[in-house]
Amino acid sequence: MRPRISELAWRNLVHDRVRLLVTVTGVVFAVVLIVVQFGLFLGFTTTTSGLIDHSRADLWVMTARVPYIEMGVPFSERKLSTVLATPGVAHATKYIVRFSQWQRRDGRQESVQIVGFDPDQPLGAPWNVVEGRTNDLKLADNVFVDELYKDKLGVSRVGDEFEIRGRRARVAGFTRGIRSFTTSPYVFTSFKSAQNYATVPGDQTIFILVGVDPTARVADVRRALAANLRDVDVVTTGEFSRMTRVYWMFTTGAGVAVLLAALLGLVVGVVVVAQTIYATTMDHLREYGTLKAMGATNGYLYRVIIQQAMISAVFGYTLAMVVSWFVVRGSVKGGAAILLPLPVAIGMLGLTIVMCTGAALVSINKVTRLDPATVFKG
């Protein structure tokens, strides 16, 4: 026999199981919607800057005022020798990211992004290689594509041959989970082949990736490079990553749309939970009046209502996380990654509690205004 606040809150909730089901369903719906939309946002954001974040470079040299990685403009590769001669530079390599056309065997054209790097250098190589070796890309016209895009590109196995802008391309390996934010999959190849596929003139590059000596400070090397090089920008990997993410997520509005959908989920959740908790409060209004007459403070009543909201939140969150786990798992092989890192999952618990507690405010307002004298009215 536990007539404490939590017992009363629990009994009030389970007294009407249909209403509890509606409340929990509302919370589940809202939380899954928020998780999916926010997970998509995280997935998109991570995808947009994937090449930069996995480049292992400390600094990027590029034509001035390039806003994001897909907008690189060719410049003279002679700048590479200046970069290599700068104190503090441990490695530097030419790098290409540029759109091109992939021709399937059935003749259909697909837009791709050629990623050209030097397989002898530790910078800019593909990651998550599941078939083939990076060194295989030293051979001219060998390419890696991601497993996710096999169907799109018409690839079935290593050794398949295609054409990129009329030049032969042979699939030498596969990566796993390297998505492109655009509809054009990445095709990794050697820098030399990339120049051909992406029609970059033989004496030009689009980026120079720089690895800084561990004994040097990145900021110092950056300053030295900026002083030695003309008509280019030198940015850190973090800055370039941020620039690319901001461009795709906010300048294009893609991320804003996804975030708005997440916000919509929050609003839906608040409305559904507020309605059901309010209805439960109205059902028990006479009892709250009785409690007030018996000497319960408003704080005591608030705790009953808030605990009802918290119980709904915990039930809803738990079920929503189960549903979300399946959704996230299902997205692994899909075109869009939905990410649910642990901190976000934990944060969602907090957000769900805030959502449900916020929804309880309408009921709290009602109880605050409740006149205990109503208990004497028949």
Torsion of CA 148, 153, 158, 163, to 10 degrees: -150
CB closer to another protein out of 25 and 290: 290
Burial of 203: CB neighbours in 10 Å, binned 0-12, 13-18, 19+: exposed
CB closer to another protein out of 139 and 294: 294
CA distances to 37, 39, 246, 266 from 336, rounded to whole Å, are 11, 10, 18, 22
CB closer to another protein out of 338 and 364: 364
Binding test (CB under 8 A) with another protein, winner from 154, 177, 358, 372: 372
Round to whole Å and give the CA distance between 282 and 280.
5
* Smallest separation, CB 303 to another protein (Å): 11
127 touching another protein, by CB under 8 A: no
166 touching another protein, by CB under 8 A: no
92 touching another protein, by CB under 8 A: no
195 touching another protein, by CB under 8 A: no
375 touching another protein, by CB under 8 A: yes
* Binding track, positions 11-40, relative to another protein; x by CB under 8 A: xx-xx-------------------------
Query: Where in 244-303 is the site for another protein (CB under 8 A)?
Result: 286-287, 289-297, 300
CB closer to another protein out of 239 and 287: 287
CB closer to another protein out of 159 and 299: 299
212 has which bridge partners? 89
Number of residues that bind another protein (CB under 8 A): 29
- Please choose, from the candidates 151, 147, 54, 153, the residue with its C-alpha nearest in 3D space to the C-alpha of residue 112: 153
358 touching another protein, by CB under 8 A: no
CA distances to 62, 256, 364 from 145, rounded to whole Å, are 25, 30, 58
* Smallest separation, CB 300 to another protein (Å): 7
Rg, the chain, Cα only: 29
CB closer to another protein out of 178 and 296: 296
- Please choose, from the candidates 213, 260, 182, 233, the residue with its C-alpha nearest in 3D space to the C-alpha of residue 63: 233
Type of residue numbered 309: A
* Smallest separation, CB 19 to another protein (Å): 13
368 touching another protein, by CB under 8 A: no
Round to whole Å and give the CA distance between 13 and 304.
11
- Please choose, from the candidates 118, 123, 114, 130, the residue with its C-alpha nearest in 3D space to the C-alpha of residue 54: 123
Binding test (CB under 8 A) with another protein, winner from 87, 107, 202, 378: 378
Q: How far apart are the first and last CA of the chain?
A: 29
**DSSP for 195-251?**
HHHTT--TTEESEEEEEE-TTS-HHHHHHHHHHH-SSEEEEEHHHHHHHHHHIIIII
CB closer to another protein out of 11 and 105: 11
**Which residues contribute to the site for another protein (CB under 8 A)?**
1-5, 7-8, 11-12, 14-15, 286-287, 289-297, 300, 372-373, 375-378
